[in-house]
């Protein structure tokens, strides 16, 4: 009888443990690429996993930005907890945590737009009351440098560059009016950090006013009115000065050269001249009283006279003037007014002395040798 074969026993062991997993406690982001994290790998020694049954190569990260990426991911300031999960070939996981530490509190920009200028004095555009400036023509996100290198962002749209003004203006381009000081802020931002720099713009008026005088003219009155026209690119009402006399003044007879000077609020000036010639070709106006009757020989009467230039034209009376002794009966009086330029005007009226209340005078004539 043949011998019976010994039974064979296969030992089965149930795998209930995940891989042995080790992670570095923390990773501080490098300064060369600020706040940018490129992920962790076992090959780089940032974590290590072993298992007798073998390791599943599909590593899981939470948040998912823990996966290596050539473009990098932006991390917020401070620590971010990254969970690494590794499974063995039986699908049993093990986890560990790494603190991803971003030490930055702002984007370390080294070439913020015009930061070195701080204060800029500029002048208005030609024939305008403002200075036009478009910073986007000189600086955009592709120009941003951080710590001596161009910003590494992994996205063509990062970082964003904004330009703001105080007081707020529409733009860019911005149209800065003259005064007060305007603050231009450049704000550089990614999804986590930002950086700002400012420059003050002080806009001066770079253009003098323009004043236009009237043409030379003649006036037949001493009080002369005229106007000069002044315009300025910035000042709505430049100051006007007149030498030696201004509008509404009393001018002397003859020619007077007037100089008009316009001064705007930045003390730019412009001048023009013209000549006013005052002539007196106008006769004075004399008004005689109406014909009247007097009961007395000594007669008084008023005469009114005006003149465009002479305040007191000379009056002559023919044959008798006011306060004179007139004969009985009618007397025609002619009054002539003569101004300082020898212009004359006359009028006439009749004075009739009636003698109604004139008392006769008794006269005695004594002859030598007479006796009474």
pLDDT digit string, tens, across residues 201-233: 999 888 899 999 999 999 988 899 999 999 998
- Mean pLDDT across 299-316: 93
**pLDDT reported for residue 108:** 84
Minimal CA–CA distance to 75: which of 32, 145, 28? 28
pLDDT digits (tens, 9 = 90+) for 101-138: 988 888 888 888 888 778 888 888 888 888 999 999 99
Kindly report the average pLDDT of the chain as a whole number: 88
Is residue 252 over pLDDT 60? yes
CA distance linking residue 352 with residue 360, whole number of Å: 19
What is the pLDDT, as a whole number, of residue 105? 84
Tokens 């003649």 correspond to what residue?
A: 218
Please say if the pLDDT value at position 305 is more than 90.
Answer: yes
Residue 270 has pLDDT above 90, yes or no: yes
Does position 7 have pLDDT exceeding 60, yes or no? no
User: In this predicted model, what pLDDT tens digit does every residue of 52-110 receive, in sequence order?
Assistant: 888 888 899 999 989 998 878 888 888 999 999 999 998 999 999 999 998 888 888 88
Question: Residue range 245-266: average pLDDT?
Answer: 95
CA–CA gap between residue 272 and residue 211 (Å, rounded) = 7
Q: What is the pLDDT of residues 20-48, one digit of tens each?
A: 999 999 999 876 777 788 899 998 899 99
């Amino acid at each position: 009888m043949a011998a019976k074969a010994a039974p064979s026993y296969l030992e089965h062991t149930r795998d209930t443990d995940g891989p042995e997993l080790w992670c570095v406690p923390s990773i501080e982001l490098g300064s060369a690429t600020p706040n940018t994290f490129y992920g962790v790998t076992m090959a780089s020694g940032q974590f290590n996993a072993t298992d007798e049954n073998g390791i599943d190569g599909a590593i899981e990260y939470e948040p998912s930005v823990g996966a290596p990426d050539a473009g990098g991911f932006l991390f917020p300031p401070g620590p971010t907890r990254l969970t690494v999960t590794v499974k063995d070939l039986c699908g049993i996981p093990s986890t560990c945590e790494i603190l991803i530490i971003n030490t930055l509190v702002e984007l370390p920009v080294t070439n913020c737009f015009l930061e070195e200028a701080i204060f800029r004095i500029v002048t208005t555009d030609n024939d305008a009351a403002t200075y036009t400036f478009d910073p986007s023509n000189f600086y955009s996100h592709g120009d941003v440098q951080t710590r001596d290198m161009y910003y590494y962002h992994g996205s063509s749209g990062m970082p964003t560059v904004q330009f703001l003004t105080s007081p707020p203006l529409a733009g860019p381009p911005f149209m800065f009016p003259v005064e007060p000081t305007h603050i231009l802020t450049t704000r550089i931002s990614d999804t986590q950090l930002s950086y700002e720099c400012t420059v003050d713009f002080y806009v001066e008026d770079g253009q003098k006013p323009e004043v236009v005088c009237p043409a030379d003219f003649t006036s037949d009155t001493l009080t002369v009115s005229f106007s000069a026209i002044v315009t300025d690119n910035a000042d709505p009402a430049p100051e006007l000065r007149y030498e030696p006399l201004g509008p509404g003044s009393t001018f002397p007879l003859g020619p007077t050269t007037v100089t008009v000077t316009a001064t705007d609020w930045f003390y730019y000036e412009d001048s023009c001249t013209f000549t006013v010639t005052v002539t007196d070709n106008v006769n004075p106006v004399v008004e005689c009283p109406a014909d009247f009757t007097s009961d007395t020989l000594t007669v008084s009467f008023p005469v009114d006279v005006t003149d465009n230039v002479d305040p007191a034209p000379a009056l002559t009376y023919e044959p008798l003037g006011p306060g004179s002794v007139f004969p009985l009966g009618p007397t025609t009086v002619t009054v002539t007014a003569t101004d300082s330029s020898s212009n004359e005007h006359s009028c006439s009226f009749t004075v009739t002395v009636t003698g109604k209340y004139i008392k006769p005078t008794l006269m005695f004539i004594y002859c030598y040798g007479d006796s009474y």
